[in-house]
Chain A
Amino acid sequence: MANTAYRADPRLSRFDPLERIVYFDDFDEGYNGWLGLIGNYEGSLDSMLPGYQQLMQPMLSNVTHWDTGSHGAFDGTYCLKTATRPIKGQQNVTIKRITFRQLGRIQFECYFCFKPEANQMALSELDVRSVGVIFDLQHGECGPQRVMPHLRYLNALDGMAQHKWQYKHRRQPFHDIGGSGKTVSHYHLAPEGWEDVPGGAQQLCYNEVPTKINWHYLKVGFDLKTMAYTELRCNDRVFDVSTMLPMAMPAMANLWCMLNVCLLVETDTDKRAFFYVDSALLSGEF
């Protein structure tokens, strides 16, 4: 019998969780374990791959703008804000790290929006390059693998509107970090290798000035048994994920049962890009 008890809670009833809720993070209550991704290092911070040097910590935002004041979140006051630096092509990633108990279907849902910093009286609708969700997973059965499904909504690229979902399965090379032989790193956030989700074009509600925000719904499903996508939904659009491959690589020494979720934002101009998440829910079948 379907578990629908969660629908009695107004904060949960706008989600469609699988059988068990692993976490439900409402950022009115705090950071809930979401923090900035950091690249691997050993001996010195200089050993970190260059792409990871730009990454910074998320913040709890009440979405305050110069022209109207505080926009607030979907509910309550605060949301989680991941911001880039004001340099074209810069990225930032916020992560939550847990492990899984059992191989099975998992599903990440969130209410999100994105905007550029409102420092110009211009529409600025092409200033944010993308926002995305990445899983980082590792299992030890049927051929141990580390699997990293990458998804992003490509809003604009080099000033041209794109408005489509993309995924990435091509890997970047691994590099040794430090001298012990224990640490490696790969820059999986590199701009190369993104491919279009089949039929993945979608128009979102950017609104009419950079300080008006509208929350959107996102759902990403993945099966830990088959290491395959099961669903990608944003608002009213459900996309065909049947041919999409996740990024995969040999298992690594210390990542068993890893279940990380990452939030990615990229800016397409010399302006900060902001990825806001009001609340996030991870559920599973186990």
Chain B
Amino acid sequence: MALNRSHTATLTRNELWEVEAATEPYEAGWAHEAIFFVRALEVRGDMRGASAQVQISPDGIHWVDEGTVCELPQAAGGIGFARVARFGGYLRLRASLPAGATLRVVAALTLKE
């Protein structure tokens, strides 16, 4: 019996997000479902109003909001996540933070057939 494949790719590691930030494009056309995880290593400033949009793309160059929102952690050690399915081929997460707020993150994408 062949088991369904799964894979977790760490998209950002120790990167500092401020104002507008996005993960690098990731191809996942083989997967049926995905979860973005965002774990805060460090939070500075007032994070109220911070969030991230899951984005999809036909070509890895042009991006559009998929509609799923990922709540971002408000304190160090916190984890936000967003589940998506039927996303086509390319995925990324685009974050918006209030002025003065910074978030140091480990972001991961967990994929399953």
Q: Are B89 and A64 in contact, CB atoms less than 8 angstroms apart?
A: yes
Q: Which of A12-20, A77-85, A254-262 contacts B (4 or more CB under 8 A)?
A: A77-85
Residues of A within 8 A of B41 (CB): 45
Q: Are B59 and A56 in contact, CB atoms less than 8 angstroms apart?
A: no
Mark interface residues in B1-25 (1 if CB within 8 Å of A CB, else 0).
0000101011101100000000011
Indicate if A119 sits at the interface (CB-CB under 8 A): yes
Residues of B within 8 A of A60 (CB): 27-30
Q: Chain B CB within 10 Å — which of A31, A57, A83 has the most? A: A57
Residues of A within 8 A of B30 (CB): 60, 77-78
Q: How far is the CA of A48 from the CA of B14 in the complex (A)?
A: 10
Residues of A within 8 A of B62 (CB): 66
Q: How far is the CA of A95 from the CA of B7 in the complex (A)?
A: 16
- The dominant DSSP class at the A interface is loop
Which B17-48 residues have a C-beta within 8 angstroms of A? 24-30, 41
Interface size on A, residues (CB 8 A): 26
Q: Are A53 and B14 in contact, CB atoms less than 8 angstroms apart?
A: yes
Indicate if A103 sits at the interface (CB-CB under 8 A): no
Residues of B within 8 A of A77 (CB): 30
Q: Are A62 and B14 in contact, CB atoms less than 8 angstroms apart?
A: no
Q: How far is the CA of A30 from the CA of B9 in the complex (A)?
A: 13
Mark interface residues in A164-189 (1 if CB within 8 Å of B CB, else 0).
00000000000000000000000000
Interface size on B, residues (CB 8 A): 22
Closest 10 CB pairs of A and B: A66-B59, A45-B14, A57-B9, A59-B27, A61-B27, A119-B61, A30-B5, A62-B29, A64-B89, A60-B30
Q: Are A64 and B9 in contact, CB atoms less than 8 angstroms apart?
A: no
Nearest Cβ on chain B to A266's Cβ, whole angstroms: 16
Q: Are A118 and B61 in contact, CB atoms less than 8 angstroms apart?
A: yes
Nearest Cβ on chain A to B3's Cβ, whole angstroms: 11
Mark interface residues in A35-64 (1 if CB within 8 Å of B CB, else 0).
010100000011010000100110111101
Q: Chain B CB within 10 Å — which of A45, A59, A62, A272 has the most? A: A59
Indicate if B60 sits at the interface (CB-CB under 8 A): yes
Q: Are A56 and B24 in contact, CB atoms less than 8 angstroms apart?
A: yes
Nearest Cβ on chain B to A258's Cβ, whole angstroms: 23
Q: How far is the CA of A48 from the CA of B106 in the complex (A)?
A: 15
Indicate if B58 sits at the interface (CB-CB under 8 A): yes
Q: How far is the CA of A117 from the CA of B62 in the complex (A)?
A: 12
Nearest Cβ on chain B to A90's Cβ, whole angstroms: 11
Q: How far is the CA of A66 from the CA of B29 in the complex (A)?
A: 15
A83 and B14 in contact, given A62-B29, A78-B30, A117-B60 (Cβ under 8 angstroms)? no
Nearest Cβ on chain A to B5's Cβ, whole angstroms: 5
Residue of A nearest to B88 (CB): A64
Residues of A within 8 A of B90 (CB): 64
Residues of B within 8 A of A97 (CB): none
Q: How far is the CA of A81 from the CA of B60 in the complex (A)?
A: 13
Residue of A nearest to B13 (CB): A45
Indicate if A65 sits at the interface (CB-CB under 8 A): yes
